[in-house]
Structure 1
């Protein structure tokens, strides 16, 4: 399976998001995937830092040959929401340079040159994906599928400052554009991803695996759980575990049977700050329902996913 991973990589700096890194590691650890490229985008971290860290992680995984293309540094229509310069991360990882070129252009080129062959796994804000579709109208019809970690379809974030799921909230205009593009979409949102969690016990087992990546993975997991527990003391779920949002999107490609899917017509609120990034999903229950534009994950085989994930990561 030929895939492009579009990511806002943070793994590699203690106390930063780790699930993007685990998604990349899962692709590397599963022989079913052929990774054509990694593209980076502003989101959990500024795009420059995310690019350095993607290169660093590929080296750690023994996959230095995979090209990395730097992408958007700010949301599609809001350059003022861009992040600050990476500072210390540049000093530590700045030797990891991206390949020449721009992420959106490289995505468009790859997809159009190989119609029906490329699956895009988008696990950050959708800025690069929307830009690629805008660059060449053939992208939407040529891509095999776009699998997106994003959205909440049967629940709410319960956060006034971030009403939509993070990836949709960061660039709501891009998320709406992708939903309306006509591309084949599968959406893996919080309804499923919050159910698959990596615990401190899992971290200890990875650290004890005797594999070099396992030790790094265990340390990164413990540091991230500690950071989230301190940041969200009112949520007991964060005391001892963290959600594997992005690896579940990867599993949706290699093992779609691990998730329960429902057709839906999905749009995204982009113009109202109070509702920014909220995904509105019509589950097609009425006779006059609109045509579906996506399949959304409504449930997940938690044990099946965790077995697949831990076996691959611990033995890599």
Structure 2
């Protein structure tokens, strides 16, 4: 046997004989749960699934921007494209805890039109670039522009799955909430220890005082809706009662990404074209499916956690949400320590501004990574 082969064989034998504690340790994996009204490849799942040291324990889906079953289809297809078909997708809430289409119509008759109502949207006030996604039947799942999934969702219930994972890994899981908070509120109501078992909650929702930051017409579309209603944001407005339950829970740590920093970001054709230098099933699908002009809403939640250095302005605020059936239903409430009412609201790390170029560079690096197993086109 050549000397080099003999050496390798001896080294392998000695390595296996070492006790586990003496062997080089694998880098610790960051455990993640994603709760989302997945509307396409733009969002948290497509980014976190590409991070080598992040283990996505599962994706729970809820209605919000689209109905739950459509969100589930998007989540399943994302798993195929990123080569992670074994990550469970668990369907959750179809409807908010109390809010309803009829209630929204009644509210609008008293207080004025909402800009976006998810699948309840009937038309867009003003000359907006968006197309309304209103769908009457929650079970009506349209064909996806980047291909329909062939894998199936779990038959478990989302809230129970969240509780089970939090109990299995107490104090180790980061929970991303980038849609309405209905599943999370149900989990909190079923298990009083759920919040304490979660390491950190990172959520995209709420609004403080957004302003236009990009000088182009499409960016203005997504800033001007806040001029007269700066505290209203869709993820919260879809299910304000669930958001309030979330805000009062005893989380170990809460990071809030409100709408405010999103008006300084935007999907552009230039960014999407830059992904073509390293083509894979994910970048190809992104190029075909992403609507240019939209802010990078949920991507902010992922990137603030993955690359904290992109945050250029943040604050600590106590946050709650309005649930009285008045003009402010679903609005964000916030205070500093000295002014808070002390009615159970929690301190939150609130992200206000980010470095857009640095964020896009980090996103590009993740999207263009090789796909595990090649992915499924």
Normalising by structure 1, we get a TM-score of 0.83
Shift of 1:274: 2.2
Counterpart for residue 217 of structure 1:
286
Q: 1:154 to 1:88 in 2, by over 3 A?
A: closer
| Aligned residues: CA RMSD | 2.5
Q: Is the 8 A contact 2:97 2:239 kept in 1?
A: yes
Counterpart for residue 259 of structure 2:
190
Counterpart for residue 321 of structure 2:
268
- The counterpart of 2:302, out of the listed 224, 243, 250, is 250
Q: Is the 8 A contact 1:74 1:80 kept in 2?
A: no
Question: Distance in 1 between the 2:325 and 2:232 partners?
Answer: 11
- 2:364 pairs with 1:307: no
Shift of 1:19: 2.6
Q: How many residues align?
A: 290
Q: Is the 8 A contact 2:247 2:346 kept in 1?
A: no
- 2:45 pairs with 1:8: no
Matching of residues 106-125 of structure 1 within 5 Å: 106-125=161-180
- 2:331 pairs with 1:278: yes
Counterpart for residue 112 of structure 2:
none
Aligned to 1:198, the other structure's residue is in SS state coil
Q: Which runs of 5+ in 1 are unaligned?
A: 12-17, 226-240
Q: Is the 8 A contact 1:119 1:147 kept in 2?
A: yes
Question: Distance in 1 between the 2:276 and 2:68 partners?
Answer: 29
Question: Distance in 2 between the 1:74 and 1:88 partners?
Answer: 16
Q: 1:280 to 1:254 in 2, by over 3 A?
A: same
Shift of 1:76: 1.6
Shift of 1:201: 0.9
Q: 1:46 to 1:160 in 2, by over 3 A?
A: farther
Aligned to 1:73, the other structure's residue is in SS state coil
- 2:97 pairs with 1:45: no
Q: Which runs of 5+ in 2 are unaligned?
A: 1-29, 103-118, 120-135, 212-224, 371-377
Q: Going by fraction, where is helix more abundant, 1 or 2?
A: 1
- The counterpart of 1:57, out of the listed 56, 65, 78, is 78
Question: Distance in 2 between the 1:266 and 1:288 partners?
Answer: 9
Counterpart for residue 239 of structure 2:
171
Aligned to 1:187, the other structure's residue is in SS state strand
Deviations 1:132-190 (A, max 9, x none): 11110001111101100011123485377996211011111111110111213110111
- 2:275 pairs with 1:206: yes
Q: Is the 8 A contact 1:149 1:187 kept in 2?
A: yes
Counterpart for residue 237 of structure 1:
none
Matching of residues 29-108 of structure 1 within 5 Å: 29-78=50-99, 84-87=137-140, 89=142, 93=148, 96-108=151-163
Aligned to 1:298, the other structure's residue is in SS state strand
Q: Is the 8 A contact 1:261 1:298 kept in 2?
A: yes
Q: 1:293 to 1:262 in 2, by over 3 A?
A: same
Normalising by structure 2, we get a TM-score of 0.71
Question: Distance in 2 between the 1:307 and 1:295 partners?
Answer: 24
Question: Distance in 2 between the 1:101 and 1:195 partners?
Answer: 38
Q: Is the 8 A contact 1:207 1:219 kept in 2?
A: no
